[in-house]
Amino acid sequence: MSWWDERSPARPVTVEVASNGSESVDKNAAPEGSSKNTKESKAAKKAERAAQRGKPQAVTQPEAGDPLGSQYGDTQLIQSRTQAAETYLSITSLSEEQNTQIALIRGRVHTVRGKGKSCFMVLRQGSATVQAILFVDDKTVSKGMVKYASNLPRESIVDVSGEVHVPDAPVAGCTCSKVELKVRSIRCVSRADGLPFELADAMRSEEDLKREDAQFSTVQQDTRLENRWIDLRTPVNQAIFRVQSAVCQLFREALLSEGFQEIHTPKLIAGASEGGAAVFKLDYIGQPGCLAQSPQFYKQMAICSDMPRVFEIGPVFRAEKSFTHRHLCEFTGLDFEMTINQHYNEVLDMLDHLFVYMFNGLKKHCAAELSTIAEQFPVQPLQYLPKTLRLSFQEGMKLLQQAGFEPDVMGDMTTELERELGKIVKEKYKTDFYVLYRYPLAVRPFYTMPDPEDKRYSNSFDVFIRGEEIISGAQRVHDPALLTERAKVHEIPLESIQSYINSFKYGAPPHGGLGVGLERVVMLFCGLDNIRKTSLFPRDPKRLTP
Amino acid sequence: MSWWDERSPARPVTVEVASNGSESVDKNAAPEGSSKNTKESKAAKKAERAAQRGKPQAVTQPEAGDPLGSQYGDTQLIQSRTQAAETYLSITSLSEEQNTQIALIRGRVHTVRGKGKSCFMVLRQGSATVQAILFVDDKTVSKGMVKYASNLPRESIVDVSGEVHVPDAPVAGCTCSKVELKVRSIRCVSRADGLPFELADAMRSEEDLKREDAQFSTVQQDTRLENRWIDLRTPVNQAIFRVQSAVCQLFREALLSEGFQEIHTPKLIAGASEGGAAVFKLDYIGQPGCLAQSPQFYKQMAICSDMPRVFEIGPVFRAEKSFTHRHLCEFTGLDFEMTINQHYNEVLDMLDHLFVYMFNGLKKHCAAELSTIAEQFPVQPLQYLPKTLRLSFQEGMKLLQQAGFEPDVMGDMTTELERELGKIVKEKYKTDFYVLYRYPLAVRPFYTMPDPEDKRYSNSFDVFIRGEEIISGAQRVHDPALLTERAKVHEIPLESIQSYINSFKYGAPPHGGLGVGLERVVMLFCGLDNIRKTSLFPRDPKRLTP
């Protein structure tokens, strides 16, 4: 029997607690299996949900005189009074071998439905769920105990001790389907207030939402983000941030194995970190300061400091008023910088190694997470080649022209053209991931090394996933005279970047590197439609809380 | 023969290039082995150094008509013209087995001394050094080639191709002592300007500097920091930042193996992150914002979001006007937060596992780095116990009282008393690393869980290394009503922390955690005297550049 199925609308039965303590089942609740969706039933459902969301009637302590009164009731505030005497188990560790054993679980009340002398609950830990059941038998479960359990607000945290039981048929809708728990004691550790939205509504698949007969409440992005601590509890969000954590581990693993070292560069700086684009300014204890828009200057200074291969994972800040699906005002940058012997192809080779390692690693270590995400947001898995495709910018322009577009061949691509080129490349080369190199010099930052043959071009590259730009990189100018000249062309006040230029004056090795946004990697690898989905607490021009 | 010995003062011989191209050795240079330190010789040395530091006379191209002209001269700007045809070797890979083979090295000119028909150089890569020699023989080395090499400014980056040669006696003063290079071609990739200070001066051991007959130039901290890209090239600084990188890897390894996940919390926030202490304020696209003083609130919100064990390595910002040896305005925080079942001892157990793992790991993986650091800054290795000592705050106060001090037993300890207690503990328990728990509630942040027995105390702890506080942690208040009450006691405006409080309203698990500064860990583990030594580009109330 299942009370939790993310594919079907929640149909909770409200249990009213009468003043005499007896129970009465809400007669308005739709009968089991009913598929009637009349106006009335919808209204009833709405009222029902509103009631559920309102402050639930608190039954916090055992009924007076209940001989099983010691088996239920809210705990004292957990305040380090004693060490835990019993071992808490994880839901994922439960198995049939534990049949008839007692297991102690701390979890959330995912769903709960009391009905007369019984109560069915689903307990949740992360994405794992298990059914817990209570039937009044006066030996192990009292009426008061069922009432207490039935009235627990969803999302409350409870300590449940129960007998592991192998049911006749697997429990549908729970991740732990082979066993359930016959509750022997239940104590609430932390009570939840009425919820601003239903977790079940936040978990529906895009396909279900698109169905013509869909009757679901949808949860708007702003509502989710306002209550991010609830939104993040959905299986997809649990999965997304496991993937995000894995991307960081894989990024580091790949680079550490190639002799890179991790650095931490300052985020508080004097000038604008790359000149130009919008920076957050602040008063630095009496002198003007700002937030680094990237670790660019400082990872290059690390190169000049004889750290030949460095990487950093850290926040970067952009005070841009961009409200697109792919821009944030604060995101996590994955950056590396390395010395090169002769050619920035050495950087591209490293990129190739790094990203193929990351993609392979994600497929291997995050298979469960990726399939959870794909269930709610159906998408084709990322297609990529063992050796990443490299096209020159000119070749890219030609492909667009051949397809009937008229790109600005010496300018930057629009987002639309990037998407179109992505489609063409996918069709022709069977990859969602490719490099476009040798961009026009004019559209790149001043520190980009010009092309040796044709000064209209540069030793730079962008990398695309699913038709969206994700990585920018280049060989950098390591000669202070040329760097000064290039800064002047870009009309960057030299005094604002003097220490950066100075760092190249005492012997500077040729070098290059790249930067990529963690949130974009996760968004595009998973095929999600908005970068706010892959930032823990996203920051956009309007959102600074929570 | 050694030209590089960090223990003896540099005694360079200035080679003047006469207008006719011939060489004349500076007659003012002190004779070899002279230990005379008269006023004149000091003055001469000073002038000599100044000359060295001045713009060196550039000999950038081969002499006209030199049949070996193709073997030396500055390279064209390395601009990705061609891929590297030859393999560049690292100094550390050179060995006697390569005797008579040709090796190509890119490195810095660490020292160079031309004398008549010969030139001795030391090439450097990171902390590794090798000797390269040129003797005019008209077959492989011309007079022009020796002149070119002899005039290379120190710290310039050169490509040297040479025959690996096993000398009769090991090369003293170079890390690669078993072989040297007989130069066959030498090309400068990037020329260094005159140096603001001598690397040799920046590398001297504290013991040498203390010697009564010390005649060395010392390099002031500000000079070092102003030219950090040179300062960071010393072996000790190379080692310090390898240790720093290792601390981060070990921190993550220990926690990932315990089921933690990495998170990235926002640094741009609306309220003051912990209320109270000085924050950097800024204009967030039209609304008031500030920089997070710690990830405290957000790692707790992650806990409420069903991420039961989280960690973060990221920048934290403190707008404090502290000019001590242990305060920075921006540093890297190592934070973790975890759910607990009953008691914050569970957090202390994790801390124990984590730090003992880190210390053991550093001893194992960074032995060479630690001994390099200890050579310049002699210190006793950190003494710690396999199971970390835990003393209650009250026990600590008693120890101080027994030793004749008069601590404020319900207040916070002064830095001096912390040091004194550190000495007492070291004497009594043979450890430099210990936990002091159950601090008075009044001196801890509002979100600290009060002690269950005595509300004057709290479920909190600090951790000390070598008598200095390094870690703060506690069980946190997970009950929104109690949290509100505590915030009021601390006179924190509730509206500024409303979303933080709200995050506990929908079921919050009991939890605790800690935060530690990366720079402090490295400083105190290595026994260094100033936190600016362990920050790549330190930020203090006066320093915002480079």
Q: How confident is the model at residue A544 (pLDDT cuts 50, 70, 90)?
A: very high
**Is residue A50 pLDDT above 80, yes or no?**
no
Q: Is B372 on the interface with A (CB under 8 A)?
A: no
Q: What is the average per-residue pLDDT within A158-176?
A: 97
Contacts of B157 in chain A (CB under 8 A): 507-509
| CB within 8 Å: B268 and A329 | yes
Distance from CA of B515 to the nearest CA of A (A): 17
Instruction: Give the least confident one: A222-226, A254-258, B46-50, B164-168.
Output: B46-50
Q: Is the pLDDT at B5 greater than 80, yes or no?
A: no
Chain Cα centroid distance, residue B41: 36
d(CA A403, CA A422): 12
Q: Is the Cα dihedral A520, A522, A528, A533 positive or negative?
A: negative
Binning pLDDT at 50, 70 and 90, where does residue B210 land?
confident
In the predicted model, what is the mean pLDDT of residues B470-474?
96
Mean pLDDT across B260-267: 98
B88-to-A340, A342, B1, B158, B186 alpha-carbon distances in Å = 10, 11, 25, 12, 14
> Which of B242, B264, B537 has the CB atom closest to A298's CB atom?
B537
Q: Out of B190, B252, B507, whose CB is closest to A507?
A: B190
**How would residue B133 be classed by pLDDT, with cut points 50, 70 and 90?**
very high
Which amino acid makes up residue B48? Answer: E
Q: Is B366 on the interface with A (CB under 8 A)?
A: no
CA B150/CA B115 separation, integer angstroms: 8
| Mean per-residue pLDDT, B290-303 | 96
Mean pLDDT calculated for residue range B333-342 = 98
Confidence band, pLDDT 50/70/90 cuts, at residue A208? confident
CB A302 within 8 A of CB B302: no
Spatial distance between the Cα atoms of B5 and B375, rounded to a whole number of angstroms: 13
Measure in Å the smallest separation between the Cα of A168 and chain B Cα atoms. 31
Of residues A133 and A35, the one with the higher pLDDT is A133
Q: What ranges do the domains of chain A cover?
A: 15-190, 235-534
Q: Is B509 on the interface with A (CB under 8 A)?
A: yes
Q: Find chain A residues with C-beta within 8 A of B302's C-beta.
A: 232, 536
Output the pLDDT for position B297: 96
Q: Concatenated DSSP letters for B200-241?
A: HHHT--HHHHHSTT--PPP--HHHHHHTHHHHTTSHHHHHHH
A417-441 pLDDT, tens digit each: 999 999 999 999 999 999 999 999 9
Mean pLDDT in residue range B105-128: 96
Question: Mutating which of A77, A264, A280 best tests the B interface, going by the most B Cβ atoms within 10 A?
Answer: A264
A52-66, A372-386, B451-465: least confident range:
A52-66
B404 min Cα distance to partner chain A (Å): 33
CA angle A45, A46, A51 (to 5 degrees): 95
Chain position carrying tokens 């009769």:
B168
Q: Determine the pLDDT at residue A40.
A: 52
Question: What is the distance in angstroms between the Cα of A302 and the nearest Cα belonging to chain B?
Answer: 7
For A210-229, write each residue's pLDDT tens digit. Answer: 887 777 788 999 999 999 99
Asked if A405 has any chain B CB less than 8 Å from its own CB, the reply is no
Among this protein's residues, is A390 annotated catalytic? no
Q: What is the model's pLDDT at position B371?
A: 95
> Mean pLDDT, to the nearest integer, of B447-472?
97
Q: Please tell me the distance in Å from B301's CA to the nearest CA on chain A.
A: 6
What is the Cα–Cα distance from B406 to B402, expressed in whole angstroms?
9
Does the pLDDT value for residue B229 go beyond 90? yes
Is pLDDT at B25 greater than 50 in this prediction?
Answer: no
Say what the pLDDT of residue A28 is.
39
pLDDT the model gives residue A44:
56
Domain B235-534 carries which CATH code?
3.30.930.10
Q: Which CATH architecture has domain A15-190?
A: Beta Barrel (2.40)
Per-residue pLDDT at A215: 77
Contact B469, B523 (CB under 8 A): no
Res. B389: pLDDT tops 50: yes
pLDDT computed for residue B9 by the predictor: 33
Catalytic residue among A127, A185, A294, A472: A472
- Average pLDDT rounded to a whole number, residues B172-184: 97
pLDDT score recorded for residue A19: 37
B306 φ/ψ sector (left φ>0, alpha ψ -120 to 50, else beta): left
Residue B334 is predicted with a pLDDT of 98
Check: CB of residue A279 under 8 Å from CB of residue A268: no
Residue of chain B nearest A247, judged by CA positions:
B262
Mean pLDDT of B56-65: 84
pLDDT for the residue A277: 62
Give the angle A229-A234-A239 at the CA atoms, nearest 5°. Answer: 105
| Confidence at residue A16, expressed as pLDDT on a 0 to 100 scale | 32
Cross-chain residue pair A507–B245, CB shorter than 8 Å: no
Put simply, the chain A residues between 106 and 125 with a CB less than 8 A from any chain B CB are: 106, 108-109, 124-125
Does B83 reach chain A within 8 Å, measured CB to CB?
yes
Active site residue A456: no
DSSP character at residue A28: T
Asked if A228's CB is within 8 angstroms of B301's CB, the reply is yes
Q: Is the dihedral of CA B158, B159, B165, B166 positive or negative?
A: positive
Phi and psi dihedrals of B16, rounded to 5? -90, 135
Tell me the chain A residues in contact with residue B518 when contact means C-beta distances shorter than 8 Å.
264
Tell me what ipTM this predicted complex has.
Answer: 0.89
Cβ distance of B342 and A307 shorter than 8 Å: no
| Token pair recorded at residue B239 | 């080692």
- Beta strands A157-165 and A128-135 are unpaired
- Specify the pLDDT at position A17: 33
Window from A450-464, B198-212, B484-498 with minimum mean pLDDT:
B198-212
Asked whether residue B272 carries a pLDDT value surpassing 90, the answer given is no
Residue B39 scores a pLDDT above 60: no
Q: In degrees rounded to 5, what are phi and psi of residue B259?
A: 85, 15
pLDDT mean over A388-396: 98
pLDDT band at A406; cut points 50, 70, 90 = very high
- Determine which of A321-330, A508-517, B202-211, B361-370 has the lowest per-residue pLDDT on average: B202-211
Set of chain A residues whose Cβ sits within 8 Å of the Cβ of B507: 108-109, 153, 155-157, 190-192
The closest of B310, B261, B265, B299 to A366, measured between CA atoms, is: B261
Residue range A38-58: average pLDDT? 56
Whether A314 sits inside 8 A of B317 (CB atoms) is no
pLDDT value at position B138? Answer: 80
Q: Which of A49, A233, A242, A326 is catalytic?
A: A326
